[in-house]
Amino acid sequence: MSSIWSIDPKIDVLNQQMENTACSNLGIKITEVGDDYMTGTMPADSRTFQPIGLIHGGSNVLLAETLGSMAANCCVDLSQEYCVGQEINANHLRGVRTGEVTGTAKIIHKGRTSQVWEIRIVNDEGKLTCISRLTMAVIKR
């Protein structure tokens, strides 16, 4: 299989780009990049919880959009275009109270003007906790 990336996505560079953003405030980190996916983690703690002590659905969405957006922008020539989120949905399937969650973004559609990504989020036991679909607009500079 050939790689989907237009640039070589370096994990340390991607994590540096997230410093002093909502991503770093929630403890999100990119942990792995494969030929056709990007994976990251987010802690299940007070930064990401809703008042009843479960990961907040909005935190799941922030993780999903972060992974999809970072990945989408690695699939284009950033000197010519960039990608921004256009639509996201998420189904929250299982509550998480401890540990961390791991999300993996995989591309479903890579077009000239849009990209569609699926982001699957699992708990420490590998059980699916959230599934999200993100549509990215590809914008000419």
The reported pLDDT for the residue numbered 2 is: 78
Task: Print pLDDT tens along the chain (141 aa).
Answer: 679 999 999 999 999 999 999 999 999 999 999 999 999 999 999 999 999 999 999 999 999 999 999 999 999 999 999 999 999 999 999 999 999 999 999 999 999 999 999 999 999 999 999 999 999 999 999
Q: Is residue 31 part of a domain?
A: yes
Task: Give me the number of domains the chain comprises.
Answer: 1
Say if 110 falls within a structural domain: yes
What's 58's domain CATH number?
A: 3.10.129.10
Q: Whole domain around residue 133: which residue ranges? A: 11-140
Q: Is residue 4 part of a domain?
A: no
The reply to whether 108 falls in a domain is yes
Q: Does this model's pTM top 0.85?
A: yes
Q: Is residue 3 part of a domain?
A: no
Asked whether residue 131 is assigned to any structural domain, the reply reads yes
In a domain? residue 34: yes
Indicate which residue of 19, 32, 65, 118 is catalytic: 65
Residue 128 inside a domain? The answer is yes
Is-catalytic flag, 65? yes
- Output the six-digit token pair for 106: 């995989």
pLDDT at 61: 98
